[in-house]
Amino acid sequence: MNDSQTPDTLLEIDDLRIGFAAKAKDAAATVRGVSLSVRRGRIVGLVGESGSGKSLTCRSIMRLLPEGGHVLSGSVAFEGEDVLGMSRRELLEFRSTRVGMIFQDPFSSLNPTRRIGAQMTEALRASLGISEKDAVQRAVSLLDEVDIPAPSDKLRMYPHELSGGMRQRVMLAIAMGARPRLLIADEPTTALDTTTQAQILRLLRRVRDENGTSILLVSHDFGVIAEMCDEVAVMYDGFVVESGPVEEVYLRPQHPYTRALIASVPTLTVPERGYRRPTIPGPPLGTTAYEGGCPFSPRCPLARPACADVPMTLLPVAPAHVTACPFEGVHA
């Protein structure tokens, strides 16, 4: 057990590095030493711009990296077990009963040529070892739990006959079929309208409250993270740049990138005429090669020459609150 682990730690990622190449020995890291933990019954947010490494970190938990992706170093432990060292049989059991995952694009995750019922019952029979009849009953019950009306009728439909919000509810139902201990939700509200987004987020919170399921919630929207999560880790260009209790991080951000993300969150107040919400200046993420130091420095309004030598080590600033920015006053 790592020093950061406690008896209620469900998931522990330690110094994870991921790279891409035909062979692992040729890969340069794009996820650069991520450490993250999820405790039982908690919702942990992973927030950052597209390309920051959030989805790769999540896929590594399931060992579902895209072709050419390699875990270069580090560890992923679930309830103390080494996920990266699991056998094929152990991994199948892990994915089907202990961890569920929903992706940002439910249409590509569902087979467009098969009815919803066939896809759900197949998954349920594989994970629970139940009969076809019991699987159908369970599927109807799960669709009802995620507030899909007339669930028996929906089982006979194809994915294209459902709205985006309905498809995402189906994916949530499938992911929760075996009552997993951890649910990974990778941008689950992307491309959904505001009302449907709110409904999906309420469902996720209900899953946690009613089943005790831990959730790792990925988003680029700090507003969603602040509303939903207990803890948050902020990622930029493959690094965790800040993490801690969500209220502490939101109210007292210690890294300039975290401040920039929070400043971009829309508010309900009507802005003054001519006001434009702050945007992050400089080259977008992924357009420049990482050459060491703080990767945010080319876009940081508070950058200084010493940023080129920042080791990106997470430093404590308050109980359970850490930041990779070592310079006092940058958050003032």
Secondary structure (DSSP) of 23-57: SGGGPEEEEEEEEEEEETT-EEEEE--TTSSHHHH
112 phi and psi angles, rounded to 5 deg: -70, -15
CA distance 268 to 294: 33
CA distance 229 to 205: 9
Could you tell me the CA-to-CA distances from 309 to 34, 241, 331 in Å, in that order? 19, 15, 19
Q: Is residue 211 part of a domain?
A: yes
Cα-based torsion angle of the residue sequence 234, 71, 187, 257 in order, rounded to the nearest 10 degrees: 20
pLDDT on residue 1: 39
CB 303 within 8 A of CB 237: no
Q: By residue range, what is the domain housing residue 224?
A: 9-229
CA distance 304 to 291: 16
Q: How many domains does the chain have?
A: 1
Q: What is the pLDDT of residues 261-285, one digit of tens each?
A: 998 887 655 555 655 666 787 777 8
CA distance 236 to 256: 11
Q: Is residue 235 part of a domain?
A: no
CB 71 within 8 A of CB 17: yes
Mean pLDDT in residue range 77-96: 96
Closest alpha carbon to 285 in 235, 243, 249, 323: 235
Confidence of residue 108 (pLDDT cuts 50, 70, 90): confident
187 pLDDT above the threshold of 90: yes
Mean pLDDT in residue range 78-86: 97
Q: What is the domain-level CATH number for residue 61?
A: 3.40.50.300
16 pLDDT above the threshold of 50: yes
Q: Is residue 114 part of a domain?
A: yes
Q: Is residue 289 part of a domain?
A: no
pLDDT on residue 132: 95
Q: What is the pLDDT of residues 196-250, one digit of tens each?
A: 999 999 999 999 999 999 999 999 999 999 999 999 999 999 999 999 999 999 9
Q: What is the pLDDT of residues 288-318, one digit of tens each?
A: 889 899 999 999 989 999 999 999 999 999 9
Q: Is residue 2 part of a domain?
A: no
Q: Please provide the average confidence, as pLDDT, over all residues in the chain.
A: 91
pLDDT on residue 268: 54
Mean pLDDT in residue range 45-51: 94
Quote the strand ranges of the chain, DSSP E.
9-20, 28-39, 43-47, 69-78, 81-82, 99-102, 182-186, 214-219, 231-236, 239-245, 315-318, 321-323
Comparing 16-25, 55-64, 104-113, 152-161, the range with the smallest average pLDDT is 104-113
pLDDT on residue 307: 96
Token pair of 103 as six digits = 């992706």
Closest alpha carbon to 38 in 76, 72, 64: 76
pLDDT on residue 122: 94
Q: Is residue 299 part of a domain?
A: no
pLDDT on residue 131: 95
Q: Is residue 42 part of a domain?
A: yes
pLDDT on residue 265: 81
Mean pLDDT in residue range 108-130: 93
Q: Is residue 238 part of a domain?
A: no
For the whole prediction, is pTM greater than 0.85? yes
